[in-house]
Structure 1
Amino acid sequence: MAKKLHYFDFNGVAEPIRYILHYGKEKFEDVRYEYKNWPMKNLKDSLPYGQLPLYEEGNRTINQSLAIARYVATLNNLVPTDPWEQAVLDAIVFNIYDFWQKVVAYIKEKDLTKKQFLKKEIMEETVDYFFSRFEKELQKNKGFFVGKLSWADFVFVGIVEASNLFLGEEIERKYPNTVALLNKIRSLPGVKEYIASRKPYTF
């Protein structure tokens, strides 16, 4: 069954999905679009809600990055079978996306003065608010979010990397458990080879 992932030619919210697919040795077509050409009317009009990413599997499609990530993670044993652990991971992923929304607001802001203010707020307040909490979770769970490798770890690493791309920073540098998790994910079989083969991202 042919698999395709449609997204822009940078990391963003699709990179965790790419990581999971490569980790699982899944064969898929990594369809990428140049962001500078967005919105491409024909493409946008063809999407269920006019947004990327979109995942195809045969004649079926899913939109929404977290739904896609969770689905492909399920195929690769990265979602726990216990309902409570599932809920815990869902909460963690939503917390990660709460942080990401702050970065998205910065990305979308066109006024340079407001943009500078948002970045200052992110770097001086938002990062520590969230990452001090993420650090505690990782520390008490053997370097992962639930004691073993899961889809939340992939989502976290992808969002950290995307935030770094758009902010021009290394937001993880003061958080050793975060740095360790980034290194673990980047070193996984499949992921390591994918990272080595991709071109550097720019935005």
Structure 2
Amino acid sequence: MPRPIPNAFQNTAPRSGIAEQQDSSRWDPQNPPSFPLPRLCLKDMDDDVIEVQVFDRPTTGRRGMVWAVAARPEKQLSANQYIVLKTSTRTSGVGRLSTLNGLFRHWAQFVVAGGPTPCSLRVPIPWVCLSPIECHTHSTRYLTLPKTPAPHPAFLSNPLIAKDDENPYEFEVWEDSAVLDLRLARIYNITIWPEGARRH
């Protein structure tokens, strides 16, 4: 399976959680208590279940809450991975990363299955394992992808992040790029014109 090679970001991400424990007995408007995590209730499978540290406050997406990964997980996250979400004060049940529902310059976003309400998990590109077609899409259409959300705080100090005209990520993709282009064309119902051909 292809893996991203974060040529600009290798060994820069923290492994431990970055959020401090909150004192629930005192209200601090600058540091409000964390939101409740989604109620994920899949049965614990034989497959590995990865604990994923997320930021305490989600954002609102088109379909429910979007939780962003706060600390580098023990391995790259991919579709069909079973996960448990954790904030500084809360832990969810077991859920599963389903299909990709968002691709950005610096993040990939998955539907989280296993709960009564829809939600998503947003993962920094260096911490995610994408399919060949997703890797190809990110590599060849990077400049057309949304610049926001901003990069993960762990990567903001890297100077290559500031370059809007260059993709700082690399992927190992073994499938032929022409075949992947044709697959994309079928998905988006577009025409891939041979080099030198004229459009009428």
More strand by share: 2
Shorter-chain TM band: under 0.3
Radius of gyration: which is bigger? 2
TM superposition score normalised by structure 2:
0.25
TM superposition score normalised by structure 1:
0.25
